[in-house]
Structure 1
Amino acid sequence: MCTAITLNGNSNYFGRNLDLDFSYGEEVIITPAEYEFKFRKEKAIKNHKSLIGVGIVANDYPLYFDAINEDGLGMAGLNFPGNAYYSDALENDKDNITPFEFIPWILGQCSDVNEVRNLVERINLINLSFSEQLPLAGLHWLIADREKSIVVEVTKSGVHIYDNPIGVLTNNPEFNYQMYNLNKYRNLSISTPQNTFSDSVDLKVDGTGFGGIGLPGDVSPKSRFVRVAFSKLNSSKGTTVEEDITQFFHILGTVEQIKGVNKTVSYISI
C-alpha cells in the first residue's frame, strides 16, 4: 500500500511513501561502484553505477525497496499482488533476473529511461526468492530520470512498459487502467466552480476548495492514484530547492496512511 511520485522543480525529485503495518528494519543503503553485484542466474557486475536508496541488507546483499543512481535515475518497486507474474522457466535469449535483483540490475547499468527500455525488453523476471524467510512480493516499478517516467509491469500477458506522463504510481489495478480511470475526474478543478446547477437559483459558495469535490479521500490504490496525481499536477513550484523539497513531502502527505485506519493481512515479502 505505497505511493511513489516524481517532481520537477528547481531540481528533480523521486520518492515514495512506504506504508507498511510493520517495519522490516529498513534503512538507507549506499552501494559504491566497486561493490560486486552477484545475480542468481546472470554474471556478476563488478563495476557499475553507485546507488543510494532504502531497503534491508541480508547476507551482505542490498535488497532495495527503492533507489536512485549517480546519474539521477530512480526506481521504486510497489506492491502489485495478483497481477504480477514471474516465470518458472529460464530463457536463453533473455536476462534472467529475480525481482529482488531488478533494481540493482537496472540502476547499476542504465543512465536514463531510454537505456532502461532497452534493458527491460530483454528481461525475464524469474520466480526465485531470496530465501525461504524472504519470499518474493508481486511488484511493479516506477522508473524515472530527469525528463521521463515509465512504469514496468510483468503480467501473464508479458512485459509491459508504459509511458507515465504524470509521474505517479500506486498499486492495483494495472497502470493503463489507472490512467483511463482519470477520465472520470475531468470535472475536478483548483478553481471555484461556476453555478451550473440552474439559472433560476443563485447558489453561493461559503469557502474555498469546492472545485475538488469528488476527489477520492479513501486509501485504496485507485483513490490514492487520483488524489496524488491531482495534488502533484496542480502543485505550485517553489522558488528554492528547500521549498520544492517541502512541497514534495506535502504531496506525498496527501496519500500517507495513518496506522490503524487500514487493517491488512501481515506477511513478509521482498
Structure 2
Amino acid sequence: MCTSIIFSPKDHYFGRNLDLDITFGQQVVITPRNYPFKFRKMPSIGHHYAIIGIALDNNNYPLYFDAANEMGLGMAGLNYPGNATYYKEKEGKDNIASFEFIPWLLGQAANIKEAKKILSTINITDINFSEKMIASPLHWLIADKTGKSIVVETDKDGMHIYDNPIGCLTNNPQFPKQLFNLNNYADVSAATPKNNFSSQIELSDYSRGLGSRNLPGGMDSESRFVRATFNKFNAPISDNEVENVDTYFHILHSVEQQKGLDQTAPDTFEYTIYSDGTNLDKGIFYYTTYTDKQIKVVDMHKENLDADDLIVFDMINKPTFKYQN
C-alpha cells in the first residue's frame, strides 16, 4: 500500500510513502541526462531530462518507485492489485513495460500537458523485468510544478487518465470511486462543530478536535486517501522552505503505517519503509525512513547532470538521536 501527494504552499512538493512488508535495498538515484535508457520494445533514448528519486539499481538499470525530473514533473507508482491490467503489444502504439513507464515519461515530458500528449501514444505492456522480478500491479500519480496532477490507471477496459483536483492518491478502489467517497466526509472540519443534532438538547464541546472525530483512521487505502486529503488541505502555508518541507512530511507521516498494524502474513506486517518528496521548483529531494525521521537532503543540481553514469546514494536508516545532557 502507499500514499502519494502534491503539496503546493509556495513551491510544489511531490512524493510519497512507500508501504510494503519487505525492503528491496532501494537507494536515492540520479539518472543524468546522458545515461542511455534502453527499452524492451522501443528505441533507446541517449539524451533526456535528468531524473532523481528512489529506485532499485538492478545491474545499473534504475527501477524507479517514484521520481521527478529536472523540469519539475514528478511521478509515483502505487500498488493497484486486482485492477491493474497490462496489455499485449499493439501496433501503432509506443509499447512500454510498466517498469519503463517512469523513465519513458520523465525522460521526455516537462509538464502535465506534455505528459498527456505522450500518454496518448502509450500502451503499457505485460512484460516482466525478469523471470524473478514480475511486474507489480500499479497505478500512477503524476504532477508538475504548477500544482496540477493526473492519475493513470490501466484497467481491464483500457487506460484511463483522470485529472486529479486534490493531488492525492493511495491504492484501491479506482480513483473516481476514491474521489466520490470524499462526499461522505463533507461534515469533517478542523473547527469546533455546531450542534446540528437538536436545538432542544444542550451538547457540550468536551474536547478539542471534535470536528475531525469522524475522520477515518485505518491503515486501509480509502481511510488514508480521506485522511491525507483532509490533512493536506488544512495544512498551514508558509513562505519558508524549511517550514513547508516540515509540514509536507507531517502530512505524509500522518498516514504512515507503523509495524504491527497491517498484517500480511503470520508475524509479517506492512510498514512505511520511507517517505520522500521533491521540491519540483528547485530539484531538491528529501526523504525520511522508518527508522530515521531526520529529513535527509539530496540536491540534484549539485551533481553533474551531464554525466553518463547513474549517481547513487545509499539511504540513511540508522536512528539519529540528539542528546542534550
Q: Is TM (by shorter chain) over 0.5?
A: yes
Give the structure 1 partner of residue 49 of structure 2.
Answer: 49
* Residues 1-270 of structure 1 mapped to structure 2, 5 A cutoff: 1-87=1-87, 89-147=88-146, 148-265=148-265
Distance 1:36 1:116 in 2: 20
Distance 1:21 1:92 in 2: 38
8 A contact 1:65–1:76 mirrored in 2? yes
Please provide the CA RMSD for this pair. 1.0
Greater relative contact order (Cα < 8 A, sep 6+): 2
1:189 shift after superposition: 0.9
Distance 1:56 1:242 in 2: 28
Distance 2:199 2:166 in 1: 37
Give the structure 1 partner of residue 302 of structure 2.
Answer: none
Identical amino acids, percent of aligned pairs: 51
8 A contact 1:228–1:255 mirrored in 2? yes
Render the CA deviation track for 1:216-241: whole Å, top value 9, x for unaligned: 00010011000100000111102411
Distance 2:261 2:66 in 1: 25
Which amino acid in 2 is paired with 1:113?
I
8 A contact 2:67–2:102 mirrored in 1? yes
Distance 1:221 1:109 in 2: 31
Which amino acid in 2 is paired with 1:96?
N
Which amino acid in 2 is paired with 1:143?
I
8 A contact 2:4–2:17 mirrored in 1? yes
8 A contact 1:121–1:159 mirrored in 2? no
Render the CA deviation track for 1:236-256: whole Å, top value 9, x for unaligned: 102411000000000001100
Distance 1:260 1:196 in 2: 38
Render the CA deviation track for 1:104-127: whole Å, top value 9, x for unaligned: 000000000011111111111111
1:197 shift after superposition: 1.6
Distance 2:197 2:68 in 1: 49
1:102 shift after superposition: 0.1
Over 4 Å off, 4+ runs: none
Distance 2:197 2:150 in 1: 40
8 A contact 2:219–2:261 mirrored in 1? no
Q: Secondary structure at the match of 1:117?
A: helix
8 A contact 2:53–2:64 mirrored in 1? yes
Which amino acid in 2 is paired with 1:241?
E
8 A contact 1:5–1:16 mirrored in 2? yes
Distance 1:260 1:200 in 2: 45
Distance 2:26 2:208 in 1: 40
8 A contact 1:238–1:247 mirrored in 2? no
1:180 shift after superposition: 0.6
1:201 shift after superposition: 2.0
Q: Secondary structure at the match of 1:18?
A: strand
1:191 shift after superposition: 0.8
Gaps of 5+ in 2: 269-325
Distance 1:196 1:155 in 2: 42
1:10 shift after superposition: 2.5
Q: Secondary structure at the match of 2:145?
A: coil
Distance 1:213 1:74 in 2: 33
Q: Secondary structure at the match of 1:260?
A: coil
1:166 shift after superposition: 0.6
Distance 1:156 1:117 in 2: 20
After TM superposition, the score normalised by the length of structure 1 is 0.96
Q: Secondary structure at the match of 2:264?
A: coil
8 A contact 2:79–2:138 mirrored in 1? yes
Q: Secondary structure at the match of 2:20?
A: coil
